[in-house]
Amino acid sequence: MHLGRIGLLGAGLALLMAGGWLCIGKAQETPPVPLRYRITDLGTLGGDESVASGINDRGQVVGASKLTFSLRKVHACLWEQGRKVDLGVLSGEPRGTESWANAINAGGQIVGMKSVPRDNDLFDPKTEDHAVLWERGKMIALGGHALSATMLPHAINAVGTIVGAASFQGHSGAFMFAGGKLTRLEGLQQARGINAAGQVVGTDGKDASLWDHGKLVSLGMHGVAVAINAGGEIAGTGTPKTGMPHAFLWRTGNAEDIGTLGGPQSFAIALNDAGQVVGESEYGATDDARNRHAFLYTDGKMIDLNSLLLPHSGWELLSATAINNKGQIVGSGRIHDVEHAYLLTPLP
């Protein structure tokens, strides 16, 4: 089962290196605006688990879900207006083919992956992964370019430009795909986010980096940048000199360590145009991935999203993976002992 790969939440975070340094700006001390959220269980495509990885300003959510219990497969899913749409796989592909969606833009274009089995091993099948685009109800394979046989898309901006990681003649590197043309982003090892202006963020393999129309800028810390908004603010995760990975918000040339929920580590995953950051953070004193909760960073403070739910919701929010400009948040959480995709909507 491949739900752990959806949205590639762990990819890039593994690139954080011990012994790095983080340029830390002082966080604002302004008390956060009181918030409450209504939570919606987005459900599944028939199986017991689902994960959300992206949301646009129209409220369309993408991710992936297990299918019926008998199949145990994973398909990319679109949630909109109370409906669950199975984005499926290309016709004629092997029975065990799976898919998952990573991101959606304002126009409803979706990027993600499909995984095609290459043998009949039920327990440890060999697979081949391909980048795909869903557009106007159709799935389009993006592979097969002369420069690269494999592409792993992470993000798509409002004009349909896709960025991610690819293999170029046996060497990995970041790519940009626009107008049917694949371009290698020199100096970047992996691209994780792009804004409407075409500014790209990611990592050079060591440091969090910004690729700005051919110019590579190091953000000054070991780690990875994961998102950039319309104002050029950047969210990511970096490693302080003697500490553990922390989420950061970079603006006007300085990186601000936005802290944790009380544990050693935190990881930024997404950012909106208001500069609000979401992700996941350890909340216990020990470094344990089982003790992580979804967070929202707003008005200079990191908040456990579980504390902003109405009482007796029954949810434990584990990770927040995307936030739109209306303040809606999606991610994954535990409800009735299973992991489901959720949607948070701010209450008036």
**pLDDT tens-digit series, residues 306-341:** 999 999 999 999 999 999 999 999 999 999 999 999
181 confidence band (pLDDT: 50, 70, 90):
confident
Mean per-residue pLDDT, 5-33: 38
- Whether the CB-CB separation of 318 and 295 falls below 8 Å is answered with no
The pLDDT assigned to 307 comes to 96
123 confidence band (pLDDT: 50, 70, 90):
low
The pLDDT assigned to 28 comes to 40
Query: Is the pLDDT confidence value at 203 over 70?
Result: yes
Mean per-residue pLDDT, 234-253: 88
The pLDDT mean for the chain works out to 87
The pLDDT assigned to 9 comes to 36
Mean per-residue pLDDT, 95-124: 88
Express each pLDDT in 265-309 by its tens digit. Answer: 999 999 999 999 999 999 988 777 789 999 999 999 999 999 999
Query: Is the pLDDT confidence value at 30 over 80?
Result: no
The structural domains of the chain, with segments of one domain joined by +, span 16-346
The pLDDT assigned to 143 comes to 67
Mean per-residue pLDDT, 92-114: 93
The pLDDT assigned to 90 comes to 84
- Compare 140 and 52 and report the one with higher pLDDT: 52
Q: How far apart are CA 189 and CA 202, in angstroms?
A: 8
The pTM of the full predicted model, rounded to 2 decimals, is 0.89
Please enumerate in sequence order all residues whose Cβ is within 8 A of that of 100, keeping only pairs 6 or more positions apart, or say none: 2, 3, 5, 6, 7, 53, 63, 64, 74, 75, 76, 112, 113
- Compare 177 and 145 and report the one with higher pLDDT: 177
Query: Is the pLDDT confidence value at 56 over 60?
Result: yes
Query: Is the pLDDT confidence value at 12 over 50?
Result: no
53 confidence band (pLDDT: 50, 70, 90):
very high
The pLDDT assigned to 14 comes to 37
The 8-class DSSP code of residue 17 comes to -
Mean per-residue pLDDT, 233-251: 89
Q: Can you name the CATH fold of 16-346?
A: Methylamine Dehydrogenase; Chain H (2.130.10)
- The DSSP element (H or E) to which 65 belongs, if any, is strand 61-66
Express each pLDDT in 130-166 by its tens digit. Answer: 899 999 989 998 865 555 457 899 999 999 999 999 8
The pLDDT assigned to 329 comes to 98
Query: Is the pLDDT confidence value at 29 over 70?
Result: no
Burial of 155 (0-12, 13-18, 19+ CB in 10 A): buried
Please count the other Cβ atoms lying within 10 Å of the Cβ belonging to residue 72: 12
- The DSSP element (H or E) to which 68 belongs, if any, is none
